[in-house]
Amino acid sequence: MNVARTTIRAVVVDDEPLARDELTFLLEECGGVEVVGAARNAAAALEICEEHRPDVAFVDLRMPGPDGIALAEALRGRLPSLAVVVVSAHDDGAIRAYEADVLDYLLKPVRLERLRCTVERVRGRTPANVVRPDEALTRLAVRRKGAYVVVDVADVIYFEVRDELVWAVTEFDRFALDLTLAAVEARVPDGFFRCHRGVLVRLEKIRCIEPSGAGKFGLLLDHPDEVRVPLARERVKSLREQIPFTG
């Protein structure tokens, strides 16, 4: 993506015409967004994206034929710099979306305020997907009971995927986020470590590294409930580089 460009070029993919029109309208309301194409299925979306080379594709999760996540994987394979945002009326695709490395996951009906945040994330991407220090998350506004609770990222012990949602867990509470874990990982400050595909933990809150057999480990965290989270086998070497194992 050309970061010098001021206008974001977007493609909208949804098998429902009304849904395509609604999202197109909302994107234009965001300002600085040009919808260069719309498609009703994966095949048409691939053709449009290869022709127009947009900055971002907003793809519906459930469509006839290949679904939105399969399309996201195909688009990222052909156009590695393309940002993909999955849009769905259901939250049960969040984990698969994270595994496909989508930029964001939006729930229908899409709110203009939430969409503007996604557009700004697209606008702020660099070619290497590196987040500048001044873009790091320090606070999160989390919706709860009709209001937004402000959570300091400094108070978060770990983030985890559970029940198809991403949760920020503090010492005494947990908050459901309208973000994918990949999106969180890209924005948190230094000091967090991806110990498992579904867990992002603050390094300083690891109290104990416990063997669990067959070369596997679990992490005991500094939390009142003595929370334990998994450490994926392929992440052990990386953790050793952060916290050297001795003895």
At 15-53, the pLDDT tens digits run 999 999 999 999 999 988 999 999 999 999 999 998 888
Predicted confidence at residue 2, as pLDDT, reads 38
Q: Is residue 128 part of a domain?
A: no
Q: Which residue has the tokens 């009703």?
A: 40
CATH of the domain at 155: 2.40.50.1020
Residue 180 lies in domain: 134-242
Q: How far apart are the first and last CA of the chain?
A: 48
Any domain includes 2: no
Euclidean distance between CA atoms 212 and 216, whole angstroms: 5
Q: Which residue has the higher pLDDT, 143 or 21?
A: 21
**What's the structural domain count of the chain?**
2
Distance CA 162, CA 166 (A): 6
Q: For residue 86, what are the β-bridge partners?
A: 59, 105
1, part of any domain: no
pTM above 0.75, yes or no: no
> Range with the lowest mean pLDDT among 96-105, 118-127, 132-141?
132-141
Q: Give which of 56, 24, 18 is closest to 38, Cα–Cα.
A: 24
Residue 146 lies in a domain: yes
Candidate from 5-9, 141-145, 191-195 with smallest mean pLDDT: 5-9
Angle subtended at Cα 32 by Cα 27 and Cα 38, rounded to the nearest 5 degrees: 40
- Residue range 205-239, pLDDT digits in tens: 999 999 877 777 899 999 999 999 999 888 888 89
Of 123, 156, 172, the one marking the end of a domain is 123
